């Protein structure tokens, strides 16, 4: 049966300054590598997946492919013109829950926003994003999704020749903080207003004004970053063009999950000063929201008068994020609702883990069992901590069950991702399939216990690269 996507495109009707219509650039030999049947069903897509469509060689009925314009602060510096340089929004669908969702090709060729780039992606980052975004979703963390991955049959060049690929990404929207910055930097209030109206309709239908909208984004993003911390996730490039309005995680470039707990962990090879280190993510987010606030001020009838409430919304963020973080980590140690004293309990455990170089995921996962002590170097200190903790847990209804559903057994560890990519480049998709099936149920013990193990010395990945 021919593939049918029930498009209902709204972005393509927005003012022309917001995007450029652009068709994908065909590739020599599309071959479907991965297809997300469950997601296709959720989106109301019917028929047989067609590699030609997900490579950009054929356009499905109803698609209006376009590249979006956006700007962004990258590592603190402003780039007024970024935009989709290698991605195209095919269109939107209303999913089975009534939610509008974007369907985007990533790696589909050059666009007017490509600057010096080739508009392409290679297989490694495409599969990394596929696996990690689907793992995030299975853990219950808001994220863009992966619908399909295709090989293009084309060689592309990074440091060396690599197999080209296209990812089909699904998102509540692809709107980024950088979309707002783009029009604010140009003082184009009409386009900014149209963008704002579109964003409000999609993400904050109840918002009465730009301040309420800002608060909605702040709430979603604060909850998101707290969830990242809870699974040891380091995004790696929290630029404002990689920070969504929807509150979904987007752009799995040099991202990684920590093995050993250390709060200043950085993996990204381009993040030389640790701007986007694990613990710095809580500081970067308010910085990014300040950029959104500045852009939204232009929509206010009296921007000067609005500065104070907008500033207050941003200044309230550290406390908001910390409260979210405490809630996430309280659940990880079996506490339903944190109260006074619980923050110290959490931070004392983290300090012991840091001192002992404990594996983040496995230590939390072992807490309800007798094996937890094996993960902490200072056993005596851990036993003292355990005594305090058990006193506190006496008041909790079912801490073991709460911990089991708050602490994943299996995460997409860097060394497994790298091994999966190496195998896929050599034509072996078995490690990809093996990872996908374990990561689909992260809170269950995987059939293959190897996937829960930290890397052996020679498997440790010390840096992730942006050469995507
Ligand atoms: P990213 O690092 O993927 O978040 O991308 C940042 C910006 O660079 C976005 O505007 C991308 O569209 C653009 N970009 C990244 N890689 C390429 C590429 N290979 N070709 C063209 N544009 C690219
Ligand atoms: Mg990006």
DSSP assignments along 169-184, one per residue: EEES---BHHHHHHHH
Contact between 388 and 352 under an 8 Å Cβ cutoff? The reply is no
Ligand 1: distance of its center to the CA of 178 in Å?
13
Element spanning 432, H or E = helix 430-439
pLDDT for residue 466: 60
Write the Ramachandran bin of 111: left for phi over 0, alpha for psi from -120 to 50, otherwise beta.
beta
Tokens standing for 417? 């991702």
Nearest CA to ligand 1 atom 17: 117
Decide the pairing of beta strands 161-171 and 100-106.
Answer: antiparallel
Contact between 330 and 231 under an 8 Å Cβ cutoff? The reply is no
DSSP 273: T
Buried b (16+ CB within 10 A) or exposed e, 225-261: bbbbbbbbbbbbbbbbbbbbbbbbbbbbbbbbbbbbb
Q: Which ligand sits nearest to residue 241's alpha carbon?
A: 2
- Give the CA count within 13 Å in the CB-facing half-sphere of 129: 31
Ligand 2: distance of its center to the CA of 227 in Å?
20
Ligand 2: distance of its center to the CA of 440 in Å?
25
Nearest CA to ligand 1 atom 14: 85
Contact between 108 and 25 under an 8 Å Cβ cutoff? The reply is yes
3-state SS class at 101: strand
- From first to last of its 468 residues, what are the pLDDT tens digits of the chain? 899 999 999 999 999 999 999 999 999 999 999 999 999 999 999 999 999 999 999 999 999 999 999 999 999 999 999 999 999 999 999 999 999 999 999 999 999 999 999 999 999 999 999 999 999 999 999 999 999 999 999 999 999 999 999 999 999 999 999 999 999 999 999 999 999 999 999 999 999 999 999 999 999 999 999 999 999 999 999 999 999 999 999 999 999 999 999 999 999 999 999 999 999 999 999 999 999 999 999 999 999 999 999 999 999 999 999 999 999 999 999 999 999 999 999 999 999 999 999 999 999 999 999 899 999 999 999 999 999 999 999 999 999 999 999 999 999 999 999 999 999 999 999 999 999 999 999 999 999 999 999 999 999 988 877 668
- The answer for residues whose C-beta is within 8 angstroms of residue 453's C-beta and 6 or more apart is none
The response to whether residue 442 sits with its C-beta less than 6 Å from ligand 1 reads no
The response to whether residue 80 sits with its C-beta less than 6 Å from ligand 1 reads no
pTM of the model: 0.98
Ligand 1: distance of its center to the CA of 85 in Å?
5
- The answer for residues whose C-beta is within 8 angstroms of residue 52's C-beta and 6 or more apart is 30, 58
Of 105, 114, 121, 122, best ligand 1 pocket probe by most atoms within 8 Å of the beta carbon: 114
Is 241 considered catalytic here? yes
Among candidate residues 71, 66, 112, 116, the one with its CA nearest the CA of residue 91: 66
Please name every residue paired with 21 in a beta bridge, in sequence order, or none if there are none.
66
Tokens standing for 324? 């979210």
Note the Cα 237 to chain centre separation in Å. Answer: 10
3-state SS class at 156: strand
**DSSP for 58-82, written as a single string:** SPPTT---EEE---EEETTEEES--
The response to whether residue 83 sits with its C-beta less than 6 Å from ligand 1 reads yes
The response to whether residue 82 sits with its C-beta less than 6 Å from ligand 1 reads yes
Decide the pairing of beta strands 19-21 and 66-68.
Answer: antiparallel
Spatial separation of the C-alpha atoms in residues 119 and 24, rounded to whole Å: 10
- The answer for residues whose C-beta is within 8 angstroms of residue 457's C-beta and 6 or more apart is none
Q: Which of 84, 102, 204, 241 is catalytic?
A: 241
- Angle of helix 281-297 relative to helix 317-332, nearest 10 degrees? 140
Tokens standing for 107? 């790696």
Q: Count how many residues are written for the chain.
A: 468
Please name every residue paired with 176 in a beta bridge, in sequence order, or none if there are none.
244
**DSSP for 1-52, written as a single string:** ---B--B---GGGS-GGGEEE-PPPP-S--EEEEE-HHHHHHTT-BS---HH
Ramachandran angles phi, psi of 144, nearest 5°: -65, 160
Q: Which ligand sits nearest to residue 174's alpha carbon?
A: 2
Decide the pairing of beta strands 77-79 and 72-74.
Answer: antiparallel
Number of C-beta neighbours around residue 141 at 10 A: 19
Ligand 1: distance of its center to the CA of 79 in Å?
12
Tokens standing for 130? 């596929």
């Amino acid at each position: 049966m021919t593939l049918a996507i029930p498009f209902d495109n709204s972005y393509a009707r927005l003012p022309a300054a917001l995007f450029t219509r652009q068709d994908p650039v065909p590739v020599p030999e599309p071959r479907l590598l991965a297809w997300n049947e469950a997601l296709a069903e959720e989106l109301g897509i019917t028929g047989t997946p067609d590699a030609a469509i997900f490579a950009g060689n054929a356009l499905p009925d109803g698609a209006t492919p376009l590249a979006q314009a956006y700007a962004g602060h990258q590592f603190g510096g402003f780039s007024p013109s970024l935009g989709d340089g290698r991605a195209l929004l095919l269109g939107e669908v209303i999913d089975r829950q009534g939610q509008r969702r974007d369907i985007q090709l990533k790696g589909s060729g050059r666009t007017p926003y490509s600057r010096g780039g080739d508009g392409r992606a290679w297989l490694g980052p495409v599969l990394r994003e596929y696996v990690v975004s689907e793992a995030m979703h299975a853990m219950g963390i808001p994220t863009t999704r992966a619908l399909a991955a295709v090989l293009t049959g084309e060689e592309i060049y990074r440091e060396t020749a690599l197999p080209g690929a296209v990812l089909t990404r699904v998102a509540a929207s692809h709107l980024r903080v950088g979309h707002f910055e783009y029009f604010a930097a140009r003082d184009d209030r009409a386009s900014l207003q149209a963008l704002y109206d579109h964003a409000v309709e999609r993400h904050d239908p109840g918002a009465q004004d730009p301040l309420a909208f800002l608060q909605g984004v702040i709430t979603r993003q604060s909850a998101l970053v707290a969830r990242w911390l809870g699974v040891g996730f380091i995004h790696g490039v929290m630029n404002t063009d990689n920070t969504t309005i929807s509150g979904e995680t987007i752009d799995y470039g040099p991202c990684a999950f920590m093995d050993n707990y250390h709060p200043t962990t950085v993996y990204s090879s381009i993040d030389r000063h640790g701007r986007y280190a694990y613990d710095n993510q809580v500081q970067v987010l308010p910085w990014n929201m300040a950029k959104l606030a500045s852009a939204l001020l232009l929509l206010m009838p009296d921007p000067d008068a609005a500065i104070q409430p907008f500033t207050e919304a941003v200044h309230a963020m550290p406390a908001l994020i910390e409260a979210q973080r405490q809630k996430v980590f309280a659940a990880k140690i079996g506490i339903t609702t944190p109260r006074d004293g619980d923050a110290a309990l959490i931070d004392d455990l983290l300090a012991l883990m840091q001192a002992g170089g404990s594996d983040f995921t496995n230590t939390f996962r072992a807490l309800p069992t007798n094996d937890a002590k094996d993960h902490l170097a200072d056993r005596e200190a851990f036993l003292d901590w355990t005594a305090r903790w058990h006193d506190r847990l006496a008041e909790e209804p079912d801490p073991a069950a709460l911990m089991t559903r708050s602490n994943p057994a299996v995460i997409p560890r860097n060394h497994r991702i790298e091994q999966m990519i190496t195998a896929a480049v050599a034509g072996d998709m078995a490690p990809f399939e093996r990872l996908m099936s374990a990561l689909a149920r992260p809170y269950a013990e995987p059939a293959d216990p190897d996937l829960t193990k930290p890397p052996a010395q020679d498997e440790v990945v010390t840096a992730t690269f942006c050469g995507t």
